[in-house]
Amino acid sequence: MSVETLISVIAPAFNAVGFYAPWLQSIAAQNYGNLEVILVDDGSTDDLPARAAQAPGWVRYIRQENRGPAAARNTGLAAATGEFIAFLDLDDLWTPGHLTRTAAALTSHPEHGIAQGLIRNFCYEGGLPFYCSRAYRFINLGSGLFRRSVFEECGLFAENMRFAEDFDFLIRCWEQGIRKVELDALSLCYQRHPGNMTHNKTVVEMGGVAIYKRHLERVRAGKVKPDMRERWAVGYPDYIGQSVFPFDEGIREPVGG
């Protein structure tokens, strides 16, 4: 009987104790047999440390001074021991089987560095979660599974970016010709709420200009591999995907229903 590849799940958290229980249940429901979860507390002032102290043995809790989500993810990467890396923010949820599906995809495609499923936005009404958008594919890290080697080749998250560090990282993956396996199954339930860091932020405030400026700087410095992108024949728009707008499209379907 083959042993499942070890997956390290990295979760940055700041004052997110209200989302802790569903997040933990979502990971446990994956029923993946070889798993470590690294919860990086980015200087929370709520009761997250007390809750984490009662976590199952497969959850490792790390606390650091508040330095932002990019730094928290990098702290998790430094502590991770898995060959595969996953990310799940505390306010989001995985659909059952996400880790098994994406791990199987990477195992079956050794030349690919990322396996990614679909995303659906959800919100709570009357205390119950409802999908409020169609399924789509975009940059949200929680919808993917990454080989550790991707970070060795493309670098870590930019800690000087408070927003869009995930977008910046995916652009670097495209620049370096990291191939993706795209799965049509739903992977991530992405929650929008007033506590989101990007709530009511403009494109500029979220780093929309900065990420393209950084891309141009890398191109001018000769750090991009155009030959790799041409070989895989994947253009930037297809690689990144497209979000839905507005976030709430008026759909109301029970999550898990």
DSSP string, 115-169: EEEEEEEEEEETTEEEE-S--BB-S-GGGEEEEHHHHHHH----TT-SS-HHHHH
Inter-helix orientation angle 165-175/69-79, to 10°: 60
Sign, Cα dihedral of 234, 240, 241, 242: negative
pTM (two decimals)? 0.90
- Answer whether residue 111 is part of any domain: yes
- Answer whether residue 138 is part of any domain: yes
CATH number, domain of 85, equals 3.90.550.10
- Answer whether residue 2 is part of any domain: no
Residue 204: per-residue pLDDT: 41
Who's near 238: CB < 8 A, 6+ residues apart? none
- Answer whether residue 1 is part of any domain: no
Structural domain boundaries, residue 176: 7-254
Do 37 and 9 contact (CB within 8 A), yes or no? yes
Residue 195: which pLDDT band, with cuts at 50, 70 and 90?
A: low
Number of structural domains in the chain: 1
- Answer whether residue 85 is part of any domain: yes
- Answer whether residue 167 is part of any domain: yes
Residue 224: which pLDDT band, with cuts at 50, 70 and 90?
A: confident
Residues 31-51 as b/e (b if ≥16 CB within 10 A, e otherwise) read ebeebbbbbbbbebeeebeee
Determine the Cα–Cα distance for residues 34 and 56; give it in Å rounded to an integer: 14
Tens of pLDDT, residues 51-106: 999 999 999 999 999 999 999 999 999 999 999 999 999 999 999 999 999 999 99
Tens of pLDDT, residues 119-140: 999 999 988 999 999 999 999 9
Determine the Cα–Cα distance for residues 7 and 103; give it in Å rounded to an integer: 8
Who's near 158: CB < 8 A, 6+ residues apart? 70, 165, 168, 169, 214
Q: What angle do CA 40, 158, 153 make, to 5 degrees?
A: 95
- Answer whether residue 119 is part of any domain: yes
The answer to whether the bond into 246 is cis (omega within 30° of 0) is yes
